[in-house]
Amino acid sequence: MENSFIRSVKISLILVYLVIAAGSIVRMTGSGMGCPDWPKCFGYWIPPTERAQLDWKSDHQYAQGQVIIMNEELRVANSHFKSSEAFEEKYWDYYTQHDYALFNAYHTWIEYINRLLGALAGLVVLVMTVLSFWNRKKNIAHPTISFLILLGMGFQAWLGKTVVDSNLAPYRISLHMGMALLIVLGLIFLLFSTEKKAFSIAGNTKIKIWAWLAVLLTLFQIGLGTQVRQFVDLQMHESPALWLDPAPIKFYVHRTLSLLVLGVHIMLFWMLRKMKRNVRVFNQILGLIGLEIFTGILMFYFDFPFSSQPLHLIIAALLFGAQSFFILQLMSNRNTYDL
Ligand code: HEM
């Protein structure tokens, strides 16, 4: 059972990262409103593939909640009924959450796959939580953290609905991202506590201070990044071709801070090297920072080339996960490796 639990933690982590990746692809392709409602999509569990499926039809069985597009407006069936020869107003309410009434199969299916991945991740986290209870006498932390992650996934799903309902309000997207990182943190904790090879690097105080500084700086940088993204989102609404022209001060702070983030990590690397320690996850952290700066440069200096936005986000999420793992290694007093 222990092995099944470990496997479920790993699969959950992979799926959560896939959901983050899918979410960023939704944003890059502008598919966020591909499904105007939630959790169904145009009132269907499997969404339409053609615009014609959303036209009103006579002699057709409609289920409550199904959506049609009429005169560029969304209408929702208010009951189960069979339509007659003529359109009857009494069966149809206006959709009031927002006034977005376009159908684009490509956007709809990208958004739908994102939701499917989210549901799959939720299901695996549920299995993980059930499995965690088997070992509760030996380790109460596992069921507790697993259950919190499960609640987090539920909350995240609800937040996803509020993002759609708010017509993709930028600050809600940032909140959604913050919650995703908390879920990653919980899963990394479980991974660390079950990973037999994850030795502790009980570091000295100096190393610990630098490590915390590095993590806090990165967290601040991620927060600032979401603010830059909010600016880009608003700008895209007003004049899509401009991206960061003119760029706000917070962008320049974000760009400059990346050098500080890099500097602090190089310093840590050098300290670990001096102590003849080659910590694998730390090498990965350095590589991720390099890639993050590279994709940032691509976006700003080369006009946001295709896939640079999702990559920038996914690398930031991986960086956060790797840093959480590193901090856990540093703070834990489990066997081996004294600095
Ligand atoms: C350690 C380095 C960095 C970290 C951790 C970081 C992190 C982030 C994060 C988390 C976001 C929000 C992404 C989203 O919500 O979709 C973001 C956005 C952004 N960052 Fe960075 N970043 C770094 C370096 C840079 C650099 C060096 C540049 C430019 C030279 C840059 C340019 C941008 C831009 C333009 C955005 C807005 C992206 C969008 O609209 O999709 N970043 N950053």
Residues 227 and 255 in one domain: yes
Ligand 1 pocket residue status of 218, Cβ below 6 Å: yes
Residues 80 and 214 in one domain: no
Ligand 1 pocket residue status of 214, Cβ below 6 Å: no
DSSP secondary-structure letter at 6? H
Which of 174, 254, 260 is the best mutation target for the ligand 1 pocket, counting ligand atoms within 8 Å of the beta carbon and taking the most?
A: 254
Name the residue type at position 14.
I
Domain end point (choices 147, 176, 205): 176
- Does the N-terminal peptide bond of residue 310 adopt cis geometry, omega within 30 degrees of 0? no
Residues 272 and 339 in one domain: yes
The atom number, within ligand 1, closest to the CA of 289 reads 1
In degrees and rounded to multiples of 5, residue 155 shows phi and psi of: -60, -40
Please name the residue whose Cα sits nearest to atom 39 of ligand 1: 229
**Within a domain: 46:** no
Ligand 1 pocket residue status of 261, Cβ below 6 Å: yes
Position 51 scores a pLDDT of 93
The atom number, within ligand 1, closest to the CA of 174 reads 15
**Within a domain: 45:** no
Entry pTM = 0.90
| Closest to 42 in 3D by CA, of 80, 77, 10, 82 | 77
Q: What is the pLDDT along the chain (339 residues), one digit of tens a residue?
A: 788 999 999 999 999 999 999 999 998 898 888 998 888 999 999 999 999 999 999 999 999 999 999 988 999 999 999 999 999 999 999 988 777 788 999 999 999 999 999 999 999 999 999 999 987 878 899 999 999 999 999 999 999 888 877 777 878 888 988 999 999 999 999 999 988 766 667 668 888 899 999 999 999 999 999 999 989 988 877 776 777 888 999 999 999 999 999 999 999 999 988 887 778 899 999 999 999 999 999 999 998 999 999 999 999 999 999 999 999 988 887 655 554
Name the residue type at position 292.
E
**Within a domain: 168:** yes
For residue 312, report the distance from its CA to the centre of ligand 1, in Å.
6
Ligand 1 pocket residue status of 254, Cβ below 6 Å: yes
Distances (CA, A) of 331 to 148, 202, 321, 334: 22, 6, 16, 9
Q: Are strands 92-94 and 81-82 parallel, antiparallel or unpaired?
A: unpaired
Position 278 scores a pLDDT of 75
Residues 205 and 266 in one domain: yes
Residues 161 and 222 in one domain: no
Domain end point (choices 125, 144, 176): 176
Ligand 1 pocket residue status of 300, Cβ below 6 Å: yes
Measured distance CA(238)–CA(1) in Å, rounded:
54
Ligand 1 pocket residue status of 313, Cβ below 6 Å: yes
Asked if 20 and 139 count as a contact pair (C-beta separation under 8 A), the reply is no
The atom number, within ligand 1, closest to the CA of 232 reads 40
Residues 163 and 213 in one domain: no
Please name the residue whose Cα sits nearest to atom 37 of ligand 1: 229
Residues 62 and 22 in one domain: no
Residues 65 and 125 in one domain: no
Residues 137 and 202 in one domain: no
Residues 211 and 300 in one domain: yes
**Within a domain: 275:** yes
For residue 304, report the distance from its CA to the centre of ligand 1, in Å.
11
**Within a domain: 327:** yes
The length of the chain in residues reads 339
**Within a domain: 135:** yes
> In which residue are the tokens 């409103």 written?
33
Residues 308 and 237 in one domain: yes
Position 37 scores a pLDDT of 85
For residue 88, report the distance from its CA to the centre of ligand 1, in Å.
51
For residue 120, report the distance from its CA to the centre of ligand 1, in Å.
28
Ligand 1 pocket residue status of 315, Cβ below 6 Å: no
Please name the residue whose Cα sits nearest to atom 15 of ligand 1: 226
Please name the residue whose Cα sits nearest to atom 41 of ligand 1: 309
**Within a domain: 171:** yes
DSSP secondary-structure letter at 135? G
Split into its structural domains, the chain has a count of: 3
Position 199 scores a pLDDT of 66
Ligand 1 pocket residue status of 265, Cβ below 6 Å: no
Domain end point (choices 94, 129, 145): 94
CATH number at residue 89: 2.10.10
Instruction: Answer positive or negative: Cα dihedral of 315, 319, 13, 187.
Output: negative
Position 38 scores a pLDDT of 83
Instruction: Answer positive or negative: Cα dihedral of 234, 239, 243, 244.
Output: negative
Residues 207 and 257 in one domain: yes
Position 238 scores a pLDDT of 77
| Closest to 110 in 3D by CA, of 161, 52, 41, 157 | 41
- Residue numbers of the domain that contains 71: 51-94
**Within a domain: 44:** no
For residue 51, report the distance from its CA to the centre of ligand 1, in Å.
36
